[in-house]
Amino acid sequence: MKKGYDQFGISRKGPQDTTDQHCTIFYDKEKVELLEGGTFWLSESPSVPGSMSWGSEVPCIATWATFQLKGVEPPGFSFQIVNTNMDEFSPRARRRSALLTWQHIASLPPSLPVVYCGGFNTQKESTTGRFLLGRSREHGVVGDMRDAWPSARVRKNVSLIHTYHGFKGDKQGTLEFLKLIFRALCLCWDRQTQDLHIDWILFRGRSLIPVSCEVVNDNIDGYYPSSHFPIFAEFMLPRTVRMLESPVQEDS
């Protein structure tokens, strides 16, 4: 772990397990203070470790943490991060997981900005994505999240329209980009063609403004840390919040 950073989160099998998948949230201790956090299971029994519902193949979780920014004026600016990994095989499990997590987010104070990110294992035009982005209903309610990718002023690596690459890296991305060009030339362009990401960064709150967003394709000698490309987003603070300058340390 990078110096000065800490982590928060537990295994999807429960706090006693250290070997299985986590939805860990890493944070810079010099810039933020962890106020509170927790993990719930994406099931009908969200407080039961390892619980599964709705046809899930494996336990799935959402880990959340509320942070307060340090070194800002006025003090007290807080936000919450929700990190998740949804079921890969069951559309029903993903829909219900999205509803459960959105209900958690909707229960928070409206003034608290929220970033909801992770591996959703489905495209944004799916029923899961449409619900979260306010385009369809799930059990009578409509989500109100926004997508950082199209909202950002700057987007990098737009040719990588898929975030899943199966450890093939840019080779898979190049193939998909060529398919995209072919579809465009054939006048088959549509919203789905532009963005087939299954890893998203969503957000809620007027005080969050996405500045840049990137599909990260870093590797070492062709070896990738994951079968998915991570998504990176940078947000701008609201105008009412100002970062204080760190005092310059003089050489002794």
Distance CA 142, CA 158 (A): 29
CA distances from 68 to 30, 79, 80, 113, 122 (A): 11, 7, 9, 11, 31
Which amino acid is present at 36?
E
Q: Quick one: pLDDT at residue 190? A: 44
CA distances from 242 to 71, 77, 237 (A): 9, 10, 8
Name residue, tokens 């306010």. Answer: 134
Q: Quick one: pLDDT at residue 165? A: 86
Among the four given CATH numbers 3.90.320.10, 3.30.540.10, 1.10.1760.20, 3.60.10.10, the one describing domain 5-144: 3.60.10.10
Q: Quick one: pLDDT at residue 234? A: 98
pLDDT along the chain (252 residues), means of 10: 95 94 97 98 98 97 98 95 98 98 98 98 96 96 97 91 84 56 51 74 95 94 91 94 72 52
pTM across the whole model: 0.89
DSSP E strand boundaries for 45-104: 61-69, 72-73, 78-85
Q: Partners of 26 in the beta sheet? A: 7
**Nearest residue to 173 via CA among 182, 181, 186, 163:** 163
